[in-house]
Amino acid sequence: MIETNQKDQIVHSLKSTIRIFQDCKANYRVLGSVLLVAHTGSIFRTIHDVDILLDKKDKNNVFKRLKEKGFTLIEQNKIGFHYTEAKKGGLLTLTFMLIGDFTQNYFSWPFMRILELRIKNEYLKATTYKFKGIEFIGIPLSSSIAGIRMSFLNPKRKLDREVLGKEFNQSQVKLYDNIIVYVSGIKLPFVYDIFSFFYNIYGGLRVILGKKYEIWD
């Protein structure tokens, strides 16, 4: 396994980011490969950013503090998907993938006016991770594994599977009905899961053609 020289960059990025979240008493979750780096204690591939889910009520305070600390905020809109990046020299990009509402039973993210994505609370259960002494809140490892399994044609996910080894194969995870699409408050069962299934095939074909798995990357 190849260890990259990113340790200091990841440590500094997490330290500065988590301090802001703590000062703002923000409700957040770190997502993506940083969780696996912290869980395994190994930097098994180049990490480009820190993916974050944030409570909408904390957005203004967090973004204000980021600007005060020298971050530049960039609004991104690709194929109808809107998200915010926070950049600062020498640190990993902070990618605020979803900014929505934590409710009693789910996290709600509205998009395209009448559409809403609801992520069940058990899928986002606050889970503490630690990397080189820096503690942060992420989602359960089982949720990360579920995401890896649903996008198995993504080359990045292959590396994720390999670094988890037996733990990946032995983990009991719920693959479906964790993320639900609603239209004007009406539930559309398994629409997100069906979309993920077909996108995985499409992304795999893109890789075969020499393109990146993600069309927004």
Q: Domains (ranges, CATH) in the chain?
A: 7-208 (3.30.460.40)
* pLDDT for 113: 81
* pLDDT for 217: 65
Count Cβ atoms within 10 A of the Cβ of residue 208 and give its class: 0-12 exposed, 13-18 middle, 19 or more buried. exposed
Strands (E), the chain: 28-31, 49-55, 72-78, 81-87, 93-102, 106-111, 115-120, 127-131, 134-138, 179-183, 186-188
* pLDDT for 63: 98
SS3 150: helix
Taking 50 as the pLDDT cut, the residues of the chain under it are: 1-3
